[in-house]
Amino acid sequence: MSVTASDRVTATTLQTGEGASSAPVQGAPAAARAAATAPPAGVAQPGPAATGVRPGRLGSLLANLPFLGMHASVLLVIWAGISWELVAICLASYYVRMFAITAGYHRYFAHKSYKTSRVFQFLMGLLGTTALQKGPLWWAAHHRYHHRYSDTEHDIHSPTRQGFFWAHMGWVMSPAFDATEWERIRDLRSYPELRWLNRWHLVPFVCASAIVFFAFGFEVFVWGCLVSTVLLWHGTYTINSLCHMWGRRVYETGDTSRNSFLLALITLGEGWHNNHHYYPASANQGFRWYEIDISYYVLWLLEKLGLVWDLKRAPEEVVAGRRGRRSYLVTADEEQAPPAAVA
């Protein structure tokens, strides 16, 4: 299936968390939310919102050659060898760029959970592109789509709807989602420097890799640029796949999002995904002291340094599961039930 940018879904109300407490579809069963958020009848809505998203529409081998090639390049460790220094470089490269994805692409560009300067906004986008997850505008637009249609037939990556493989990486390999959905990022698309980054998203990684290769050598290039990038991809993908399958549900969100301590560690706090689906506007996804959220701690530090400001935090009543009159906490009985029953 090929969907062009002009075919894309027209503007719809976006739930980035702000005002989510008054949104009628939040906390409602997935089927009801799907109906409530489905495109209006009679309006041309091509793309996944009109047809539902079905797995199996992967791109051609040629189109996916760079993606598959990066995975194959991990084998270069046979020639690069291994040492504690190289593993440390790999992890440092992984976590620095994971921060750019979680605090930049996700919490800033997709959810606007804090404010920053135009320069720092660009720098976060620039660092994010080195994770090779396309441009910040592409990423934010698709992620906003996920929140709007979570675990309905219109969700781009729902493991319960389309299976683990599709939710994890199949949708990334599909040509159906190559285009940037400009209507979903009206707040961002007016910045020419962000549009440039979005278009030339490969350039920063290629330049950085070339510098690393020539300045530090083949071994550092393999571990710091290739192995760590593949790990970074799959670390990020676990939030779309495993965080909708494994873990604890604290809040009734109308989808299958879950909290996972382990996934929070490998994604710098994104593992508190049930919290996040409950209140997406919050800069902190770990709501409680024991819910470790490294990205938020760094954002807190950046706030103290004056580089970011107006961090949104989940209000006490939200953390307690009270929005409006009823409680949105998942009870012990509900937690035992399968996701569909919970939803």
Site for Zn ion in 251-280 (CB under 5 A): 257
Q: Kindly state the smallest distance separating residue 140's Cβ from Zn ion, in Å.
A: 9
Distance of closest approach, residue 171 Cβ to Zn ion, in angstroms? 13
Structure letter (DSSP) for residue 166: I
The beta strand positions in the chain, using DSSP E, are: 115-116, 308-309, 322-323, 326-327
Residue 310 in contact with residue 115, Cβ under 8 Å?
A: yes
Closest CA to 250 of 293, 279, 284: 279
Pattern 211-250, Zn ion, x by CB under 5 A:
----------------------------------------
Measured from the CB atom, the residue of 97 and 224 that comes closer to Zn ion is: 97
DSSP 89-133: HHHHHHHHHHHIIIIIIIIIIIT--SEE-HHHHHHHHHHHHTTSS
Handedness of CA 309, 315, 320, 323 (dihedral sign): negative
Rank residues 204 and 280 by Cβ distance to Zn ion and give the closer one: 280
* Least spacing, CB of residue 273 vs Zn ion, in Å: 6
Residue 33 or 221: the one with the smaller Cβ distance to Zn ion is 33
Query: Minimal distance in Å, beta carbon 151 to Zn ion?
Result: 8
Closer Cβ to Zn ion, 199 or 234, answer by number? 234
Token pair of 244 as six digits: 């909708």
Please give the residues from 69 up to 98 whose contact with Zn ion meets the rule CB under 5 A.
Answer: none
DSSP classification of residue 307:
S
In the bound state with Zn ion, the residue whose beta carbon lies nearer, of 221 and 233, is: 233
Hey, what amino acid is at 63?
A
If the CB atoms of residues 106 and 221 are measured against Zn ion, the closer one turns out to be 106
Q: State how far the Cα of 73 lies from the Cα of 218, in Å rounded to an integer.
A: 12
Backbone angles phi, psi at 52, to 5 degrees: 80, 165
Contact 180, 188 (CB under 8 A): no
User: Cβ closer to Zn ion: 121 or 228?
Assistant: 121
State the nearest-atom distance from the C-beta of 227 to Zn ion, in Å.
Answer: 27
- Least distance from Zn ion to the Cβ atom of residue 75, Å: 32
Q: Considering only CA atoms, which of 67, 81, 85 is closest in space to residue 132?
A: 67
Identity at 59, one-letter amino acid code:
G
Number of amino acids touching Zn ion (CB under 5 A): 1
Smallest separation (angstroms) from Zn ion to the CB of 280: 5
Interacting residues with Zn ion (CB under 5 A): 257
